[in-house]
Amino acid sequence: MCAKVVAKKAASKKAVVKKAPAKTVALKKAGPKAAGGKKVEKDEPEEKVYGNYDLVVVESPSKAKTIKKYLGKGYQVVASNGHIKDLPKSKLGVDVKDDFALDLVPITGKKDKIERIQELAKHANIIYLAPDMDREGEAIAFHLAEEIGKKKTIHRVVFNAVTKTAVKHAIDNPTVLNQPMYDSQKTRRVLDRLVGYKISPILWDKVQRGISAGRVQSVALRVIVDREDQIKAFISEKWFSIQGELEKKNINFEVRYYGEEQNKKTDLDGAAGEKLAKKVVADIKGKSLKVIEVKKKERKQNPTAPFTTSKLQQEAANKLGFTAKRTMMVAQMLYEGVQLRDHGLQGLITYMRTDSVRTEPEAMKSVRDYVKKKYGKDFLSAEEIVYKKKGTSKVQDAHEAIRPTNLEFTPDEVRGDLDPDQQKLYELIWNKFISSQMSPAVIDQTSVTFEAGGHFFKSNGSIVKFPGFRTVYLDSIAEKQSRKDEDAEDTDEPKTGLLPDISEGETFAQKKGIESEEHWTSPPPRFNEASLVKALEEDGIGRPSTYAAIISNIQDRGYVEKIENRFIPTELGSVVCKMLVESFPDVMDIEFTAKVEEMLDKIEEGDISWKKVLREFWKGFEVALEKAKDEMKNLKKQSIPTGVHCRKCADGEYQIKWGKNGQFFACSNYPDCNSTEDFKKSLDGTLTIVEKVFADDPCPTCGKRMAIKKGKYGKFLACEDYPQCATTAPFTINVQCPLCKIGKFAEKKSRFGKLFYGCSNYPACSNAMWTKPYAFDCASCGHPVMGEKFTKKNGKQLECPKCRHKVDMADTPFGVVDEESVAIVEA
CA dist 193 → 51, 354, 541, 593 (Å): 44, 25, 17, 15
In single-letter form, the type of residue at position 677 comes to E
Contacts for 645 with CB less than 8 Å, ≥ 6 apart: 652, 653, 654
Query: Which amino acid, 49?
Result: V
Give, rounded to a whole angstrom, the gap between the first and last alpha carbons of the chain. 62
CA distances from 195 to 92, 428, 586 (A): 10, 38, 11
Rounded Cα–Cα distance for residues 429 and 259 (Å): 45
- Measured CA to CA, the distance from residue 265 to residue 23 in angstroms comes to 75
Contact of 541 with 590, CB cutoff 8 Å: yes
Contact predicate 465/446, CB 8 Å: no
Alpha helices in 489-609 (DSSP H): 529-539, 547-556, 571-583, 590-604
- 658 has which bridge partners? 663
Q: Which residue in 688, 310, 212 sits closest to 529, CA to CA?
A: 310
* Distance separating alpha carbons of residues 529 and 547, to the nearest angstrom: 10
| Residues with Cβ within 8 Å of residue 688, at least 6 apart in sequence | 679, 680, 681, 682
Question: In terms of DSSP H, where are the helices of 31-126?
Answer: 32-36, 61-71, 111-122
Residues annotated as part of the active site? 351
Other C-beta atoms within 10 Å of 584: how many?
A: 24
Closest C-alpha to 446, from 492, 497, 493: 497
Whole-angstrom distance, CA of residue 735 vs CA of residue 771: 13
- Cα Rg of the chain (Å, integer): 32
How far apart, in whole angstroms, are the C-alpha atoms of residue 21 and residue 24? 10
The 10 Å CB-count burial string (b at 16+, else e) for 531-567 is bbbbbbbebbbbbbbbbbbbbbbbbbbbbbbbebbbb
Angle at 241 between CA 240 and CA 242, to 5 degrees: 130
Closest C-alpha among 39, 309, 324, 87 to residue 191: 87
Among 64, 94, 101, CA closest to 79: 64
Q: How far apart are CA 68 and CA 78, in angstroms?
A: 9
763: cis peptide before it, omega within 30°? yes
Query: CA–CA distance from 676 to each of 192, 648, 649, 658, 659 (Å)?
Result: 39, 9, 11, 12, 11
Task: Give the distance, in angstroms, between the CA of residue 316 and the centroid of all CA atoms in the same chain.
Answer: 10
Burial status of residue 800 (CB atoms within 10 A of its CB: 0-12, 13-18, 19 or more): buried
Q: Are strands 75-79 and 54-58 parallel, antiparallel or unpaired?
A: parallel
261: which DSSP letter? B
Contacts for 240 with CB less than 8 Å, ≥ 6 apart = 268, 269, 273, 274, 277, 516, 517, 518, 519
CA distance 197 to 772: 38
Contact 707, 696 (CB under 8 A): no
